[in-house]
């Protein structure tokens, strides 16, 4: 009998094995975005039409339906909540159900079960996707309260998120600070320090993390006032890339818990480029996302107890490759672009009004967009956009004008500056990847991920019953800083 019991233990499938889960979310990335970036790499790398594949192509296992509880077209808050809590909620909700009641997330349940936890993003860390794993508010714009939730402790008095990398420093500073975007005088950054969280804001500090053998967690590193830079604009001396942040997160989390870790990684600015209808910024952030997936893929090779799942919360922009009547599109047009529409417009808004036309013709077109034969119509569309009244409206008009010029030359189409209801890709690799396949609801994927870690959110949900989900002195913006 003793021998039989020993044999049963020996063949039990990973009964007490270490288990890691990396959930990667390519925000706003639809199937056409994958095709676009693949064709771009193929076209700039060879004169032939030989097949070229990304790392994601080798991991495709299915697709995910994206609708929220109140709309066939989701936003990032409801989309991420589906992954985090395993349930559908309404657009704008951050880890609360349709009644506004907090729902325990996979990150919180994993932490309570002894796993290490981490969040990595290129957006503000308080933005909808990362927030949905560690905060609970009824409106995604309540980022002041979200920041406080994200540094809070769980029922066992441990910081719920061991590691956070991203942007959004302004949400952690009191409004008395010139760099703050909070609506109160709460110093969340100091509160994090006081609770034992290590903090960093400089690239040089980030680089030192790879040189230490000591535990530095819990840790929060914020490298931008708001969102981090697009890949096409990034200054590598001041901001780490998504792949660099992810590699460092993997190294730090892997040494933290014998049970394993849960890490969410978001390629956030893929979505924002889609909102701007900016194909060049879009494609470069996709390529950086691929680099990040490759880093995780390599980690799985060395750590076979790891599962990586990549998907998207929704598609953005209604992207189309080819504009009627031509059966073609031109990836190399995008390769000539050196700055995002966002950066180009920021530059133009700083330019004296009387100098704008000259700057567009002598700098923007040839140096930033790679256009040496611009038309009068192209010049006019940019100048007209700069005349739009209202700050938000003018910025949007300018970015769409710049993106539209590049898109038209590349024969790339967009149906919207918002989201669409399209299904998105599902990709998986590693431990138990055979369970992540087929076409499924986003909320079902969230449930499968909890099952993989063998965690349940029910106890967390009970403990969250008295959590404040509404921010005082809150003003709801009719225009999100990208959805």
Strand stretches in 181-290, DSSP E: 198-200, 219-222, 261-266
Owner of token pair 């959805």: 483
Q: Confirm if 435 and 448 have CB atoms less than 8 A apart.
A: yes
Which two three-digit tokens encode residue 239?
């901001």
Residue in 313, 279, 257 with CA at minimum distance from that of residue 115: 257
The H or E element that residue 413 is part of is strand 412-413
Handedness of CA 126, 132, 136, 142 (dihedral sign): positive
Instruction: With CA atoms as reference, report the closest residue to 129 among 483, 425, 477.
Output: 483
Q: State the residue for tokens 């076209």.
A: 43
The residues pairing with 96 across neighbouring beta strands, listed in sequence order, are 102
> C-alpha distances in angstroms, 431 versus 18, 289, 307, 397?
11, 21, 5, 46
How far apart, in Å, do the first and last CA atoms of the chain sit? 60
76 is an active site residue: yes
Long-range Cβ contact pairs of 68-73 (< 8 A, separation 24 or more): 69/98, 70/98, 72/421, 73/314, 73/418, 73/419, 73/420, 73/421
Q: Collect all residues with Cβ–Cβ distance below 8 Å to 8 and sequence separation of at least 6.
A: none
323 contacts 413 by C-beta, under 8 angstroms: yes
Cα–Cα distance for residue pair 460/469, rounded to 1 Å: 15
Task: Read off the tokens for 461.
Answer: 């949900």
Q: Say how many C-beta atoms besides its own lie within 10 A of residue 49's C-beta.
A: 9
Question: Strands (DSSP E) along 230-278, which ranges?
Answer: 261-266
> Active site residue: 68, 76, 132, 310, which one?
76
Classified as helix, coil or strand, 381 is helix
214 CB burial (10 A radius; 0-12, 13-18, 19+): exposed
Helix (H, G, I), strand (E, B) or coil at 17: coil
Residues 219, 118: Cα–Cα separation, whole Å: 9
Q: State how far the Cα of 151 lies from the Cα of 126, in Å rounded to an integer.
A: 11
List 38's β-bridge partners, or say none: none
Give the β-pairing of 419-420 and 315-316: antiparallel
Q: Which residues does the annotation mark as catalytic?
A: 76
């Amino acid at each position: 009998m003793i021998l039989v019991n020993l044999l049963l233990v020996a063949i039990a499938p990973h009964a007490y094995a270490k288990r890691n889960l990396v959930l990667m979310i390519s925000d706003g990335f639809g199937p056409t975005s994958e095709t676009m970036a693949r064709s771009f790499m193929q076209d700039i790398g060879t004169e032939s039409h030989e097949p070229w594949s990304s790392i994601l192509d080798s991991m495709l296992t299915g697709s995910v339906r994206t609708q929220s509880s109140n709309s066939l077209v989701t936003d990032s808050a409801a989309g991420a909540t589906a992954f985090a809590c395993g349930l559908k909620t309404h657009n704008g909700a951050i880890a609360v159900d349709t009644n506004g009641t907090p729902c325990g997330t996979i990150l919180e349940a994993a932490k309570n079960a002894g796993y290490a936890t981490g969040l990595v993003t290129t957006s503000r860390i308080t933005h909808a996707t990362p927030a949905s794993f560690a905060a609970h508010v009824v409106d995604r714009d309540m980022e002041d309260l979200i920041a406080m939730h994200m540094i809070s402790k769980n029922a066992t008095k441990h910081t719920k998120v061991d590691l956070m990398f991203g942007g959004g420093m302004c949400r952690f500073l009191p409004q008395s600070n010139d760099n703050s975007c909070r609506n109160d005088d709460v110093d969340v950054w100091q509160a994090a320090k006081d609770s034992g969280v290590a903090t960093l804001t400089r690239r040089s500090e980030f680089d030192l993390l790879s040189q230490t053998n000591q535990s530095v967690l819990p840790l929060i590193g914020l490298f931008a006032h708001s969102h981090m830079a697009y890949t096409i604009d990034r200054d590598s001396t001041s901001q780490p890339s998504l792949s660099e942040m992810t590699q460092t997160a993997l190294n730090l989390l892997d040494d933290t818990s014998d049970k394993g870790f849960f890490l969410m990684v978001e390629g956030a600015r893929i979505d924002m480029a889609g909102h701007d209808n900016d194909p060049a910024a879009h494609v470069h952030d996709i390529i950086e996302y691929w680099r990040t997936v490759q880093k995780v893929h390599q980690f799985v090779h060395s750590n076979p107890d790891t599962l990586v799942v990549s998907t998207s919360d929704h598609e953005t922009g209604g992207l189309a490759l080819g504009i009627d009547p031509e059966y073609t599109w031109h990836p190399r047009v995008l390769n000539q672009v050196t700055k995002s529409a966002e950066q180009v417009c920021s530059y133009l808004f700083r330019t004296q009004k009387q100098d704008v036309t000259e700057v567009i013709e002598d700098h923007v077109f040839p140096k930033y967009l790679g256009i040496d034969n611009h038309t009068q119509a192209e010049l006019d569309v940019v100048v007209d956009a700069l005349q739009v009244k209202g700050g938000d409206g003018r910025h949007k008009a300018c970015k769409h004008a710049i993106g539209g010029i590049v898109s038209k030359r590349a024969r790339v189409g967009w149906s919207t500056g918002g989201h669409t209801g399209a299904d998105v890709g599902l990709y998986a690799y590693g431990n138990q990847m055979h369970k992540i396949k087929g076409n499924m609801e986003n909320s079902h994927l969230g449930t499968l991920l909890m099952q993989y870690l063998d965690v349940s959110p029910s106890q967390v949900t009970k403990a969250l019953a008295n959590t404040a989900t509404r921010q005082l002195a809150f003003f709801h913006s009719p225009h999100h800083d990208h959805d």
